[in-house]
Structure 1
């Protein structure tokens, strides 16, 4: 069983959803911990890849704000997987090894595009924005506080907007 978005998911359900047999699933992921780690890394990759995808479809400031929503969802899901991720760490793996670098790279891409478009300040440290997003997630990352999360993300985004001197 794996935890996804706070709910337990059985391995046979995962195999069925992936369109493979349970044997194929266990050949690729011989332990529950291997499956949890792969699930976590996949979610991280989807989040980080979304930065470029959003920039292809939206103006940079809008892409950044949309990515912020996805980041909050990602952190909420990660909280739901906390016990399973602790099992992965206890088994000797480090699912977080590349997390910070990948997130900073994605946020940097969004901020650089926004600065080039003149809509986002150029003096913003991507790690500071990620820290702010993490704070929003801690305060309002669960579904019952979704409205507050949106307001806080809008406030954070307002702080990132470029202002002309004067």
Structure 2
């Protein structure tokens, strides 16, 4: 498959998501969520399409995308690791884990490792407060994550030999 064919397929998916959701009240957020769920991020080319369909400026669409930490404007790595930075997790050591995770992976939050394996993000609550500090790895939430456990999670992701639990 060529990149051009992929771009056309992505555009068709995005057009379909916009068409399906554009008449809902407050359609911008559902559309952005739908596109990111489908594509993994909000492609730049979709901003103009969204703006045109919702009668908004591209700046208004960009403003919403940049306001919410959840939305990405670049493709994520093969895996996404989110470190909870909410108060309950902070009380259980997430500040140290935040620093360690960035140092271990060699990236800041909302960045992807050079091998495109892991995107590191911060999140403001995973609903696992009693077991903090917590990390979400793709769709799995892991509690009581120490620096050593973080190393294990990274190793599991990069070798794909051990299932997360």
The structure with the greater share of residues assigned to helix is 1
TM-score tier (shorter): 0.3 to 0.5
Q: TM-score, normalised by structure 1?
A: 0.34
Q: TM-score, normalised by structure 2?
A: 0.34
